[in-house]
Amino acid sequence: MTAYASKEAVERAFREGAYDYLEKTAILEAMLRVKVRNAMEVVSERWLATLDLDGTELAIRETWSAVQAEKDPHRKGLLLERLVALVLKTIPGFDRLDTRLRNLVEEIDVLVQNGSADPFWQKESPYILVECKHWSKRVGTKELRDLWGKMEGRYNRCRLALLIAPGGISDTVRNLQLQKSEKDMLVVLVGANELDDLVRRKDRNEALKEMHRRAVAAAFDRRNKEETSEER
């Protein structure tokens, strides 16, 4: 960190083994937060890559316990994203993912590249969006609409998403989801019970399939009820 970031000083710093550098300017505090966060994410990704099967399972259980106990909102959000990444990496074909992607207008918590050989998932889109809400309160319809917005404009390659909210999901979200079930986008709602099931189940692939089936079946049930009502 320096107030004298000349071209020569920067080049010398990197030659000597510096990972990164910061200038002491008016935006130092904001830049420091970004740099530290990026470094933490690099370390986290390297850590995930070194875990064997037993290590991954232990990390999943410990991280889930930490999510439930954590009081600091920022820390809780990071732990939840780590938990989701760990869980998804245990599902065959979902191991290629990126976390905390950002551009000028939006942020994506987890983006999964769907490389599954399972016929069930091969029918889905090439990419799966995952939105993590670490709030203690329930998620509302705004969050569902925001997630739909992120799914749109992806060259029709992201038609499936997971909305993960351990704090709960309002009934209004489920109602809106059913009202808009004709959209070519499916959001699987994952509350605390569903997330706990994903953590504890040995066959997480089947557990996620069941959640997917329930989401689709709910739309069928609603449509059947509407048709029956119209006939009457």
- HSE of 172 in the Cβ direction (CA atoms, 13 Å)? 8
Give the distance from CA 39 to its chain's centroid.
19
- Judged by DSSP in three states, 103 sits in coil
pLDDT, tens only, 16-52:
988 888 888 888 888 888 888 778 777 877 877 788 8
- Tell me the average pLDDT of the chain: 88
Residue 225: predicted pLDDT:
58
Q: Which residue has the higher pLDDT, 171 or 46?
A: 171
For residue 58 the two structure tokens come to 């232990």
**CATH numbers and ranges of domains, the chain:** 1-48 (no CATH), 91-231 (3.40.1350)
pLDDT tens, residue by residue, 66-86: 999 999 998 899 899 999 999
Looking only at the bridges linking them, the beta strands covering 107-113 and 97-102 are antiparallel
Parallel, antiparallel, or unpaired: how do β-strands 107-113 and 127-132 relate? antiparallel
Q: At what angle do helices 53-69 and 73-89 cross, to 10 degrees?
A: 150
159 in Cβ contact with 151 (< 8 Å): yes
Q: What is the tens place of the pLDDT at every residue in 202-224? A: 999 999 999 999 999 987 766 55
